[in-house]
Structure 1
Amino acid sequence: MTTADAQPTLPATSATADSRPTAGAPSATGGARRGRRALGTAGYAATQTVLLGLLFMVYRFGRHIVDGHQAEALSHGIAVWNMERCLRLPDEAAVQQLVLHSHYATILINEFYYAVHFPAAIALLVWVFVRHRFIWPRVRNVIIIATGMALVIHILYPLAPPRLLPMAMTGLIDTGAIFGPSPYAQGDGFANEYAAMPSLHIGWAIIEAWVVVTVLHSRWRYLAIAQPVATTAVVVATANHYWVDGVIGGLLVLLAVQVTRLALQARIVAVMRPMVTRRSDTCGSQ
C-alpha cells in the first residue's frame, strides 16, 4: 500500500455542504412573518370589535333617553298613522291579515323579527372582515353613520309602533305579545319600544344586501335583495313599524353610502395628486 493509498478520501461535497444555508432558515423567517401578520390581524379585529361594541352601547343608551316620553311617542304614532292614510299608503292591517290566516306563518314572522336581525348583522360583519377586508372600512363607516343618524331621530322624535296604538283605530294586534316570541316581553329594558322611526331592522337589512351585491360578482348576488324585502314585510305584519319607518331607514342608509363614497373618492384623489404632480415635473424637466 502506498502513502497516497493511506490517506483517507474526503467526500467531494463535504467542502461545499457546510457553506450552504440551512433549509430551516427561510421557513423560520416565513413563520415569524406569518406570526406577526396574525398578531396584527388579531389586534385590528380586537379594536374593530371594541369600536362596534361601543357603538352598540351608545345606541342602546341613547334610545333610552326617550324613556318617560310615552305620551309624546303615542301622539307621534297617531300623527304618522293619519299621515300615511292621507298619502294613501297601503294599510298595514291588510298586510297583517294575510299572515294571521295561518298560525304557523304568524309564529314564523315573529321568530324572524326576534331572531334574525342581530345574527344576520354579525354574520355579515364577520364575513366581510375575514373574506373581503378591502371593503371593511367602508361597511363599518356606513353602519356607524346610519346608526348614528337613526339615534338622533330616535331622541328627537320618539315614536310608538303601530302595535301600541288603539286597535280600534288601526285594526292591528301585537302578534309577538299574543303568539310569541317577543323581544319586548322580557321586561329587562333591553329594547326601547318607543323608537320605531327609523327602522334599523330594515336599514341594516338594506346594508347587508348592498354589501353582498357590491362584493360578489355572481348573478345570484341579487338574491340578497330578498332580505330587506322580507324584513319589510315582517316588521309591518308584526305591527312593529310603519311603512314610513322603512322609508326613512332606507334613506339613511343611502345617505351613509353616498357619504362614504365621496370620502373614498377624496382619499383616492389625495393619494393620486402627488403622483401626477411628480410625473408632470419629470416630463417637464426632460
Structure 2
Amino acid sequence: MGASYSRDLAPRPAEIARTLQDRRTPVSPAETDADGRRRTSAPARQSLRALLDRMRSPRPPRLWFEIMLVALVYWTYSIIRNAVPEQESQALKNADRIWSFQESLGLAFERSLNHAVEGVTWLVVSMNYYYGTLHYVVTLGVLVWLYRRQPGRYAAVRLALAVTTCFALVGYYSFPLAPPRLMEGMDFVDTVRVHETLGSMSSGNLANVSNQYAAMPSMHVGWSVWAGITIAVLAKPLWVKVLGGLYPVLTLIVIMATANHFWMDAVGGVVCLAFGFAVSYAWYGTSAYRLPQKLASP
C-alpha cells in the first residue's frame, strides 16, 4: 500500500513539463498586480482599448444615421416629457416657491416684463412666434451647419445636445413646475391665448397635447445657449459671432416676457447643458470645439 500511495503522489512527467514551462515563461510586470498575481491578459486589454479608441475617434457623420438619431432622441424626449404625471397641485406650489425665492433676491421681474410687452402688440406677437419657431429652426440649422462645415466636431457637439435634452427629463419628473402664466392670482398674461398666435405647445389650443407643468428646466434656454456658444466659437464672421452671443439673451427675455418661464428655469437649462458638455468632454477627452474641423482622409 505504501508503494502505491507514493506512486499516486509522485508528479507525472506531463505535470513536470508544464511546471518547467511556466517557470521558463517570463511574466511582464504589466501582467501582474502588486502581489505578483497575473492580471487580465495584455492582448485583451489592448483590444478593449483599441475598440474604445475607435468609438471615440471622430468619424464622418452619415446623413441617414444622423436624421434617425435626432428624430429618435427628440421623439423619446417628447414622449417621456408628456408622459410625466401632470401634478397640478405640486406644480403650482413649486411655482409659488420659485416666485418667493426670486422675490427674496429682489429679482422677481417676470410679471413687470410680461405686462410691459403686452402693451405693444407687434412686439408681443413677434415674441410668440419667436418662442414657437426659432427653438427648432435655429437648433436644426446649427446641426446642419456643423454636419456640412464642421464634420470633425459634429459628433461631439451633437452628443452634448443629446445628453442635455435627455438630462432635462430628470427635472420634469422630480420638480413639476407651473409656468408663470398658470399661477393663480398673479395676473400674468398668457400672450399666446390672448393674441391667438403660435407659441408654447403648452398654451392655447395645444395645451391638451403637451405637459403644461414641465417648465423646469427650460430647454428653450438650454438649446439656445448650446447654439449660441457653438456659433460664437466656431463661426468666422464677427457679425455671426455676435448674433450667436445675442441669441440666448433674446431667448431668455422672450421666455419671461411671454410668461412661459421664470429666469430660474433658464438656470436649470444651463445646468443641463453643462452636464451635456461634461459628458462629451469625458467621452472624447477634450472640448468638442478643440477637435479638428475636418477629418483626415483615410
- Give the structure-2-normalised TM-score: 0.70
Corresponding residue number in structure 2 for 1:4: none
Alpha-carbon spacing, 1:267–1:94, altered in 2? closer, same or farther (3 Å): closer
- 1:281 is aligned to none
Alpha-carbon distance in 2 for matches of 1:100, 1:189 = 24
Which of 165, 174, 178 aligns to 2:194? It is: 178
Offset, 1:118: 0.9
Write out per-residue CA displacement over residues 25-48 of structure 1, whole angstroms, 9 at most, x where no aligned residue.
Answer: xxxxxxxxxxxxxxx97x821112
Report if aligned partners of 2:177, 2:216 keep a CA contact under 8 Å in 1: yes
The CA deviation at 1:245 is: 0.3
Question: What is the correspondence of 1:106-255 to structure 2 with a 5 Å cutoff?
Answer: 106-166=124-184, 168=185, 170-181=186-197, 182=199, 183=201, 184-187=203-206, 189-220=208-239, 221-255=241-275
Please identify, of 63-72 and 186-195, the stretch whose mean Cα deviation from structure 2 is larger: 186-195
Question: 1:185 is aligned with what amino acid?
Answer: G
Deviation, structure 1 residue 230: 0.6
CA distance in 2 between counterparts of 1:133 and 1:124 reads 12
Give the counterpart letter for 2:128 in structure 1.
N
C-alpha contact (below 8 Å) 2:218/2:265 kept by paired residues: yes
Shifted more, 176-185 versus 195-204: the winner is 176-185
Kept after mapping to 2: 8 A contact 1:99/1:105 = yes
Structure 1 residues 223 and 266, CA, compared in 2 at 3 Å: closer, same or farther? closer
Alignment deviations for residues 164-189 of structure 1 (CA, whole Å, 9 cap, x no partner): 001x3x33111111113143323474
Q: Which amino acid aligns with 2:152?
A: F
Helix, strand or coil at the partner of 2:128: helix
Q: TM-score, normalised by structure 1?
A: 0.73
User: Is the 8 Å Cα contact of residues 142 and 257 (structure 1) preserved in structure 2?
Assistant: yes
Whole-Å separation in 1 of the counterparts to 2:83 and 2:65? 27
Aligned to 1:55: 73
Residues matched between the structures, number: 226
Q: CA deviation at 1:105?
A: 0.9
Contact 2:281/2:287 (8 A) holds in 1: no
Uncovered stretches (5+) of structure 2, i.e. residues with no partner: 1-58, 289-298
Quote the residue 2:292 is aligned against.
Answer: none
Q: How many angstroms apart in 2 are the aligned matches of 1:245 and 1:267?
A: 26
Tell me how far apart the structure 1 counterparts of residues 227 and 287 of structure 2 sit (CA, whole Å).
Answer: 24
Where 1:173 maps in the other structure, the secondary structure is coil
Which range moved further: 118-127 or 187-196? 187-196
Q: CA RMSD in A?
A: 2.2
Distance 1:55 1:70, change over 3 A: same
Query: Whole-Å Cα distance in 1 between the matches of residues 213 and 162 of structure 2?
Result: 21
Higher helix share: 1
- Most deviating of 73-82 and 192-201: 73-82
Instruction: Give percent identity, aligned residues only.
Output: 27
Aligned to 2:85: 67
